[in-house]
Structure formats: C-alpha cells, structure tokens
C-alpha cells in the first residue's frame, strides 16, 4: 500500500494535497474496489462545495462507491478526461487519477500518511 | 424441472425432525379461525365432467383467431405468431428460469437474453439494449429516470408530445410525481395537427428529455431528425417511443439521432392476451449505459477461453448502488423477451419487412376505401404506417356496437383521450386482416353512415 507523505487522508479513503487543493481516492481505496469501470464527477468548475459532500461516483466490477470531498471550497479545476479513462484510478490514483482541485480549501477531518497507513493496516485484519 | 414427491414416511421423518407430532401441530401458530376457512366449493367433478365444464366456459370467449375480425390496435396489435415461438417458450429450461445470477448454470438463459439485446439494438439502430422492462410504458418512464440521472437532477423538465400514447403519458405522470419533474406538452387539448418541430419551442435549458412517438399514436410517420437536432442544441436528450414492426420498414430512430429508443415488444410474436403480459424494450447509446436501468447481459470468455455470457455492469443496479441507482426496477420480462427474439429470428430481416409492408399496404387500402364513405373521412393527411384516425360522424361507442354485431371489433375510441376527437376512431390494420375483412368493414360502416 502506498500513501505519499505530502498528502493528507480521510477516514473514507480520499486524499488531499494541501499544496494544490487537489483530491482523489487513495491507493488503498482503489485496491479494495478492484477494477474500476466507471467514474462520474458530480461537481463542475466554479461550484462551491462543502467538505464531506459527494464529489464523484465510482463503479468497479463488483462495487459502487461515493467519493467525498476531502476539503471544501471553490472548485477551480475538474479532471475532465477521467470519465473516459476510469482505469486511471487503479493505475495512478495520486497522479493522473486526481478528481478535482479546490481553492483555499477548508479540509475535512484528515490524517497524515503515517496515521493513514496504520488506519488501513488495522482494517485489513 | 424435477418433481419431488413426498411419501407418508418422509413426511413423518420431517415432522419428527422439526419436533411436532402431526401436520395440525405444525400449523398451530396460525390462529384457528384463519387455519381452515370454509371455501364452499361445489362437489368434486370427475375429469370428464371437469373437461366439459371448462370447455363450456372457454367457448363463451370470442377470440380474434377464429370468431372475430379486429381493427383494434392503439398499442397492442394482432399479428400472426409462428407456432415455434410457443414451443420454445414452453420448454421447462426457459419457462421456469429466474434471474440468471449464476453464469455457471445459466448459459442458455443468458445467451437468449444476449440475442434479444442484439436484435433490439439492430432494430432500433442503437448501441446497447437492456434485458427488457415490463412494457413499453414503463420503459418510457425509465427513459425519464435516465435523463434525470444524466443531468444529476439539475434539469427538471421533460417535454412530451401530446401524440405519445395516452397510457404511456399517464405512467410517466405517475413516475414524475415523486421526482419533482415538470412535464410540458402533455396536453390532450393541444393542436394535434401541428408540426412536431414546434415541440422544440418547449425545450429550454432546464429540459432533460424530449419524448416523441414513431409512428405517433395516430399512426403518423415523421422524420424527427431536425427536431432531435434542435433538442440536442439545447443540451436535452431525446427518447423515441417506437413500434418495432414499423422499424423494419422506416428509418431507425438511431439514424435520426435519438439517444434512447423504447417501445412495446408485443407486436413481435406475443399474443394480445387480455392486454398483457408484454415486454418493454429499451435501447440507448453507449455513453448512457451506466445510467440505464435494468439488467444487461454481456459476452465474455470463460477460464478455458470459450465464449460465454454474464450479467455485466451490475454495480449500477439497485442491489449494489442502493438509493443512488438510476431506478429501483431491474426486473425484466425474460420469457416474453425470449418470445420476441424467437419471432425475429424466425422471420429474419426480410420476413419482418414483409410483415411491415403487408400492414402498410392493407392499412392504406382500408383508409382509401373508408374515406370514400359519405360522412366519414381521414382525420389527418400525413403519411401513416398501419393505423389511422377515422371520423365516423357519430359516437364511436355506437358504431362499434354495430360492428360487433357483424363480428368486427372496431377501432379505438379516441374521444376517451382527446376531447377534440369526438366521433373519431383509430383503425389498425395488420397482415391478419384480409381484403375481404376490410371490404366487410367498409360495407358495415357504409350501412352505419346511411342509418
């Protein structure tokens, strides 16, 4: 399991890049979902969103999940190409698999990578 | 299906296992007054007597195969059904199968559904078909759900042509009640002769879907290409409710640019019965497949590399996606859908076209003859398929009562749905109506006009 140290994480397995305001799903989340076949972004550029509200809907071959905002704020960018390449969420969740960026966001309840790794480990037992 | 008998010995063993002495003890939990209600049945009959009684009852029915000539359509049509359809449907393997969750034991059912989907996609000119809905009306309502979900509830208006089947519009109204969706155009008092392109004026930035029918409820055939372009220019999706028989002869809704094509599969080898059960087909473009309701069978390969079939993209359905799913209905009409697939396979492309052409030619002969009757006339002048609105100059109820005396089921009384169409009936003609049948209809209606 991979959890970069520069990112923050939510209990519902989303990541937040405090530097850029980008967010997406964690490596743990994508591995639990398995092959992701569909992603729909539920917010548009210019929307103002609240932390903890749904930003995306993801379907894998066996499950469906809502993805929640790891920070609230004004949406300044949306990864428009993502719905055409949902498998990117499996191959590169922290890079090409980013979902949206918010400006000067107020984060949800987040933890650092060490705490998140421990949190994931606890759940896999 | 295996018949599992029960002997007294086996029954006693089961009772002993669950710890009761007799069957009466087993049902003790049910209050005594509900346990064995008096049914007041007549004395039992012998098999011979029962046969007699039942055939007597059956003979009281009149049917369109032997007793009556029918010119009634309005959504259900009297077509010839090759006997093979029934023979396949009555096979136990199909007759008793429920939803095929397990591909390991359900390849036959899954493949049949896959073939049905392929045939429907080809017929409508669309990319994908689901495994079917209850009927055409519920399929049309599911199109409203798809469009609503596609715009994530941000567009809350649906434009419906007043010439979509009145019962379909009623079902859509029921669905829309709980969804906070406004319907526009759904007006029985609208000008029924207006250019369908005028519907574009009702479409705005809040409109998720436009629904039109092809041929429309009055049998008229329009090319909706321009209307669909206009709807798309406003960002709305378009659903075409289609008659599958007509699609063998006319341009497909897919080639006109439709996003969703729905309809009732009954004309494809399913009897009219008493108005159902039927089957609703639903086809759409690939980009909307994740918002489509219903089950979907896909082709794949098994672990030995052999072609096989599975339910696919199931994560979009309600048992996984719960309240976020597009629809709470994923039930299909598997057996009836299979009937349409068997019918289409038997007829083939050319056979179905032949059926459509026979309907078209006979309907046009009928329209021509009927419009010669003094005091009667066609209501509309646009091209039509196998159905047309006829003014009969007096209440349709009276006319139909007179026709029935001559063994003819007359057309659908349009005044029940369209106040302006008092004294108008919708006449349907299929390959089942011979020239003689049509001539008799003309003769009897001529008598009516002279009364």
Query: What ipTM, to 2 d.p.?
Result: 0.80
Is there a contact between A62 and B152 if contact means CB atoms under 8 Å apart? no
Cα dihedral value A114, A116, A122, A125, nearest 10 = -110
Q: For residue A44, what is the enclosing H or E element?
A: none
User: Residues of A at the B interface (Cβ-Cβ below 8 Å)?
Assistant: 37-38, 40, 42, 57, 59-64, 66
Is there a contact between B324 and A64 if contact means CB atoms under 8 Å apart? yes
Residue B97 has a pLDDT of 65
Distance CA A91, CA B197 (A): 48
Mind giving me the DSSP string for B114-129? HHHHHHHHHHHT-SEE
Residue B451 has a pLDDT of 62
pLDDT in tens, chain B (451 residues): 567 888 999 999 999 999 999 988 999 899 988 888 888 999 999 999 999 999 999 888 888 888 999 999 999 999 999 999 999 999 988 887 666 778 888 899 999 999 999 999 999 999 999 999 999 999 999 999 999 999 989 999 999 999 999 999 999 999 999 888 999 999 999 999 999 999 999 999 999 999 999 999 999 999 999 999 999 999 999 999 999 999 999 999 999 999 999 999 999 999 999 888 999 999 999 999 999 999 999 999 999 999 999 998 887 887 787 777 888 777 788 899 999 999 999 999 999 999 999 999 999 999 999 999 999 999 999 999 999 999 999 999 999 999 999 999 999 999 999 999 999 999 999 999 999 999 999 999 999 876 6
Which residue in the block uniquely carries the two structure tokens 């076209």?
A: B353
**Alpha-carbon separation of residue B171 from B133, B136, B142, B316 (angstroms):** 14, 10, 10, 24
- What are B54's two structure tokens? 């039942």
Close Cβ partners of B63 (under 8 Å, ≥ 6 residues apart): none
CA distance A63 to chain B (A): 5
Domain boundaries, chain A: 11-102
Q: Which residues from chain B sit within 8 angstroms of residue A36, using beta carbons?
A: none
How many residues are there in chain A?
Answer: 125
Residue B325 has a pLDDT of 82
Residue A47 has a pLDDT of 93
Which residue in the block uniquely carries the two structure tokens 């045939």?
A: B119
User: Cβ distance A79 to A44 under 8 Å?
Assistant: no
Helix (H, G, I), strand (E, B) or coil at B204: coil
Q: Which residues from chain B sit within 8 angstroms of residue A62, using beta carbons?
A: 315, 320
Q: With a cut of 50, which residues of chain A have pLDDT below it?
A: none
Residue B61 has a pLDDT of 87
Question: Which pTM does this prediction carry?
Answer: 0.89
Is there a contact between B290 and A64 if contact means CB atoms under 8 Å apart? no
Peptide bond into B215 cis (omega under 30): yes
Residue B37 has a pLDDT of 80
Residue B78 has a pLDDT of 97
Largest interatomic CA distance in chain B: 82
Distance CA B57, CA A13 (A): 67
Mutate: best of B290, B291, B324, partner A, most A CBs <10 A = B290
Helices B435-450 + B334-370 axis angle, to 10: 50
Q: What is the DSSP letter of B44?
A: P
What pLDDT, in 10s, does the model give residues B169-215? 999 999 999 888 999 999 999 999 999 999 999 999 999 999 999 99
Closest-CA residue to A10 (of A79, A67, A86, A57): A67
Cα dihedral value B332, B336, B339, B345, nearest 10 = -30
**Alpha-carbon separation of residue B413 from B218, B409, B417 (angstroms):** 12, 11, 8
Structural domains of chain B, with CATH: 69-81+348-450 (3.90.1150.10), 83-343 (3.40.640.10)
Mind giving me the DSSP string for B73-97? -TT-------HHHHHHHTSHHHHT-
Residue B449 has a pLDDT of 78
User: Cβ distance B240 to B224 under 8 Å?
Assistant: yes
CA distance B151 to chain A (A): 10
- What are B340's two structure tokens? 């349409």
Between A and B, how many residue pairs show a Cβ–Cβ distance under 8 A? 26
Closest-CA residue to B63 (of B268, B266, B359, B273): B273
Q: Burial code of B397-422, b = ≥16 C-beta within 10 A, e = fewer? A: eebbebbeeeebbbbbbbeebbeebe
Q: Which CATH architecture has domain A11-102?
A: Beta Barrel (2.40)
Distance CA B228, CA B212 (A): 10
Q: Which residues from chain B sit within 8 angstroms of residue A57, using beta carbons?
A: 324
Pick from A42, A59, A66: which is nearest to B315 by CB? A59
What pLDDT, in 10s, does the model give residues B104-113? 888 999 999 9
């Amino acid at each position: 399991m991979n959890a970069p140290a520069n990112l923050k994480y939510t209990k519902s397995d989303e990541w937040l890049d405090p530097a850029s305001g980008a967010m997406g799903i964690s490596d743990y989340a994508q591995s639990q979902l398995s092959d992701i076949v569909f992603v729909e972004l539920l917010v548009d550029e210019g929307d103002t969103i609240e932390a903890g509200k749904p930003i995306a809907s993801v379907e894998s071959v066996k499950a469906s999940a809502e993805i929640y905002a790891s920070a609230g704020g004004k949406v300044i960018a949306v990864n428009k190409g993502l719905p055409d390449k949902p498998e990117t969420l499996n191959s590169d969740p922290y890079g090409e698999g980013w979902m949206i960026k918010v400006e000067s966001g107020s984060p949800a309840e987040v933890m650092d990578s060490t705490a998140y790794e421990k949190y994931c480990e606890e759940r896999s037992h | 299906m295996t018949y599992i008998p029960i002997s007294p010995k086996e029954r006693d063993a089961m009772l002993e296992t669950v710890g009761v002495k007799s069957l009466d003890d087993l049902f003790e939990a049910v209050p005594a007054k509900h346990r064995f209600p008096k049914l007041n049945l007549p004395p039992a009959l012998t098999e011979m007597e029962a046969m007699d009684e039942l055939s007597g009852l059956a003979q009281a029915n009149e049917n369109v195969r032997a007793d009556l000539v029918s010119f009634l359509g309005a959504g259900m049509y009297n077509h010839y059904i090759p006997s093979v359809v029934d023979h396949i449907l009555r096979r136990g393997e199909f007759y008793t199968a429920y939803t095929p969750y397990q591909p390991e034991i359900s390849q036959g059912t899954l493949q049949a559904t896959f073939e049905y989907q392929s045939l429907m996609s080809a017929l409508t000119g669309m990319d994908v078909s689901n495994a079917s809905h209850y009927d055409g009306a519920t399929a049309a309502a599911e199109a409203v759900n798809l469009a609503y979900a596609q715009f994530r509830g941000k567009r809350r208006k649906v434009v419906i042509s007043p010439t979509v089947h009145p019962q379909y519009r009623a079902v859509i109204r029921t669905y829309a009640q709980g969804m906070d969706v406004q319907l526009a155009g759904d007006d029985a008092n609208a000008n029924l002769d207006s250019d369908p392109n005028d519907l574009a004026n009702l479409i705005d930035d809040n409109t998720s879907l436009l629904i039109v029918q092809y041929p429309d409820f009055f049998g008229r055939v329009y090319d909706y290409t321009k209307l669909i372009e206009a709807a798309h220019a406003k960002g709305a999706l378009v659903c075409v409710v289609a008659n599958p028989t007509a699609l063998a002869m006319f341009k497909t809704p897919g080639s006109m640019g439709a996003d969703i094509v729905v309809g009732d599969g009954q004309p494809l080898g399913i009897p009219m019965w008493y108005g159902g059960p039927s089957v609703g087909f639903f086809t759409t473009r690939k980009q909307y497949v994740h918002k489509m309701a219903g089950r979907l069978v896909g082709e794949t390969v098994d672990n030995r590399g052999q072609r096989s079939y599975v339910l696919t993209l199931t994560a979009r359905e309600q048992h996984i996606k719960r309240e976020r799913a597009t629809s709470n209905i994923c039930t299909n009409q598997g057996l009836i859908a299979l009937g349409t697939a068997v019918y289409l396979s038997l007829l083939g492309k050319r056979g179905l076209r032949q059926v459509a052409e026979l309907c078209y030619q006979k309907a046009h002969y009928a329209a021509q003859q009927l419009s010669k009757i003094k005091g009667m006339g066609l209501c509309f002048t646009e091209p039509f398929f196998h159905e047309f609105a006829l003014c009969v100059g007096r209440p349709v109820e009276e006319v139909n009562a007179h026709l029935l005396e001559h063994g003819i089921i007359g057309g659908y009384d349009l005044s029940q749905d369209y106040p302006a169409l008092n004294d108008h009936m919708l006449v349907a003609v299929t390959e089942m109506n011979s020239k003689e049948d049509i001539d008799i209809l003309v003769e009897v209606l001529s008598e009516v006009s002279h009364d």
